[in-house]
Amino acid sequence: MDSPAIAIRDLTRRFGTFTAVDNVTLDVAPGQFFGFLGPNGAGKSTTIKMMTGLLAPTSGHIELLGLDFATHPLEIKRQIGVVPEGLALFGRLTASEYLRFVGRMYGLGRDTTNSRTEELLDFMNLADEPKKLVTDFSHGMQKKLALAAAVIHGPRILFLDEPFEGVDAIAAGTLKAMLQRMTERGATIFLTSHVLEIVERLCSHVAIIHQGRLVANGSLDELRAGVAASTAGVPGELVRGGGSLSGPQPEEKLTLEELFLRIVSGAGSETPEEPVQELSWLA
């Protein structure tokens, strides 16, 4: 394996006495489309924030593209793109003004910024209303613009926090095509999403975090093998520790959603099989 694009070691973040991320260790190879999954409040966004410099870790080590984040934050930021949870948009600019601003903040020349801005707005179907302010965009349009801003400088790693939430099917198709093209060209994509079908279709590798701890990590087939092994009572591991997972090959092909539910319910207190309590007062 090449030196990983993303290497995090024993990453921990505590808020007072609450541990949001607990000793997470993870490697993502260059060119990988990596899905980072977990239930609400599991620590996904906190992890992404630490990996992108929005949040300082309590302890642990983050290395992106072979550079230590603690010592080379600006060099790293120049080579990564991020669509954070809050989208990081400036509401009172137009889409083209915003993209041109972002390009210049990443050190692109004016001509490059302008040509890429036009290209991206066309690609994202955002060029129809050049005078509309970002604050007046629909949520889906804002998402597309945030993605355009995250890639304008040609990042080598792209971090996406829920990129498909609130995006219509047509736009989602456009985004998926763009992301796949980026990985084909060698970019690494680190994505969190609750839409497991999309993750299953796009991602070659998946990690699952639950209650701050990494409970699974590997390719989908490796996860299936791990689940099958643990179901059969054979000692196996879901979190890859440098080597491949042990255990028998799966007989049935579980979907990512089924895998996710089994892993999460096995790892924590949540039991999805439990019937939902009846809320008699609901219509």
Partner 1 sequence: MAGVERPGSATRWGFLSPLARGQYAALAWIQTRMFLNGLRTRRGSVELGARILTFFVFSAIAIGPSIGLGIGAYIGVSHGLRLAPAVLLWVLFLAWQFFAALAPALAGQNPELSHLLRYPVSFGTWLVLFLVYGLAAPSTLIGLLWATAIGIGITVARPDLFLWTALTLALFVFFNLLLSRMILAWIERWLAQRRTREIVTAIFLFLALGAQALNPAFHQSGHGSLYGIGRQKPLHLPSRVWNVQKVFPPGLATDSIFQAMQHHPLKGAEDMGWLGVYVLGAGGLLALRLRSESRGENLSEAPRRSTKARAKVRSPALLDFSGPIAAVIEKDLRYLMRSGPMLYNLAAPLVMAVVFGGAMRGNRVSSIRLEYALPIGLVWAFLGLTRLICNNLGAEGDGIQFFFLSPTPMRTVILGKNFFHLVLFLLEAVLISALVIFRFGLPAPSIAAATLAWLLFAIPANFAAGNLLSINMPYRVNMARIRRESGALGNGLLSMLTQFGILAVGAAVIAPCGLLGHNWWATPILLALAVAALFVYLRVLGNVDRMIHFRMESLTLEIMKTN
Which spans of this chain sit near partner 1 (rule: CB under 8 A)? Answer: 52-56, 74-75, 77-78, 82, 84, 86-94, 96-97, 100-102, 104-107, 109-110, 114, 117-118, 121-122, 127-133, 135-136, 149, 281, 283
Shortest distance in whole angstroms from residue 77 CB to partner 1? 4
Shortest distance in whole angstroms from residue 137 CB to partner 1? 9
Nearer to partner 1, 98 or 260 (CB): 98
Nearer to partner 1, 94 or 211 (CB): 94
Query: Tokens in use for 119?
Result: 């290209």
Shortest distance in whole angstroms from residue 164 CB to partner 1? 19
Shortest distance in whole angstroms from residue 145 CB to partner 1? 12
Nearer to partner 1, 159 or 260 (CB): 159
Q: Which residues pair with 83 in a beta bridge?
A: 160
What does DSSP say about strands 80-83 and 157-161: parallel, antiparallel, or unpaired? Answer: parallel
Nearer to partner 1, 7 or 106 (CB): 106
Q: Which residues contact 97 (CB under 8 A, 6 or more apart)?
A: none
230 close to 251: Cβ distance less than 8 angstroms = no
Residue 77 burial class via C-beta count within 10 angstroms: exposed 0-12, middle 13-18, buried 19 and up = middle
Nearer to partner 1, 79 or 174 (CB): 79
Within the chain, where are the H helices?
44-52, 73-79, 95-105, 110-123, 139-151, 169-184, 196-202, 220-232, 256-267
Shortest distance in whole angstroms from residue 88 CB to partner 1? 4
